[in-house]
Structure 1
């Protein structure tokens, strides 16, 4: 009886140990495609950024740029039922734009598409004329660079039922505007289309 009890306790311990070690696991970026959902994920954002930036950098407008232009991020509107981090999207796009050598990003002013750097204004307001700071090291007036271009965008989705399955279309519109003239110098629409069972949800 004692031996049976020992064996039983050993089996229970093994199950408990296994349960304790069945936690989360790491998945690399490529393998994570096997865990796709009807919502927007990392791969969708990467795909949109890659397509849109390729379109932008190959445009005649960008090809003609000789000196880097200062860019600000305007509003990026999320009109979907997904919790999309619009700043992640806008910063991925502008990061690739900056890496091309054609653009410089300013965070002195911004719309809803990113978080402006509040320290730009704060450091000027709190140090100029303040005796506690060496005024020779304080940033002088007139140092901020004026923006020449504005990047804005919108994301929206459309859900339809096709052949007993749910189809969700996502649309990403990005627009680059010349702030001096108000003219659109480039825009692009990228689409993500997903199909799943009716039990799949995209909201």
Structure 2
């Protein structure tokens, strides 16, 4: 038994030496497993951005006080995760916000996180005594959002056990549906809605896990 111990240690070290870490293309299709991944996130965000920018209802909204810039001021709200997975849906909305702002066709209002940071800074300027009184920024001058965007991410998971008809293979299937809608804050009217669907399937052979 003692003869084989060094061989086992050497084999273990050899396998460890084969481990490598490297960078990869973030746009490359991810197929590591069935869980929600970066490819799904990018696909959903891209589809929604294209739909948003092509909607005639989101070209402009006019009301008194906006001045000459009639572009829609959009507030991006929450996307509820209705799946069984732990998914940070803010990553999806972050990608959508970034693309919309870069397009130059939609204006964005600060999110709740941004408003918290603004509130902290304005209170600091007004109360700390450290800021030139002539340069203190005041509350009450922000432009109001015209519309708010929010949505849901849902999934359905199914499994089919191994059977003779499928050659002993096991089948796993997961379906995602991402729904977003935009509502005019003043009228309460839904002015845009769309959904993106993704389905993944995995077939495991007779001796697979």
Report the TM-score when normalising by structure 2: 0.75
CA RMSD for the aligned pairs? 2.8
Please give the alpha-carbon distance, in whole angstroms, between the structure 1 residues aligned to 2:72 and 2:153: 26
Matched with 1:185 is 191
In structure 2, list runs of 5 or more residues that go unmatched: 1-5, 62-68, 161-165
Matched with 2:159 is 161
Q: 1:95 to 1:31 in 2, by over 3 A?
A: closer
Matched with 2:37 is 41
More divergent stretch after superposition (73-82 vs 98-107): 98-107
What are the residue-to-residue correspondences of 1:65-144 with 2, within 5 Å? 67-107=70-110, 109-110=111-112, 115-144=113-142
Q: 1:31 to 1:76 in 2, by over 3 A?
A: closer
Offset of 1:87 from its aligned partner? 1.2
SS of corresponding position for 2:23 = coil
Please give the alpha-carbon distance, in whole angstroms, between the structure 2 residues aligned to 1:46 and 1:141: 37
Q: Quick one: higher RCO (CA 8 Å, sep 6+), 1 or 2?
A: 1
Equivalences, count: 183
In structure 1, list runs of 5 or more residues that go unmatched: 1-7
Report the TM-score when normalising by structure 1: 0.77
More divergent stretch after superposition (93-102 vs 73-82): 93-102
Q: 1:48 to 1:19 in 2, by over 3 A?
A: same
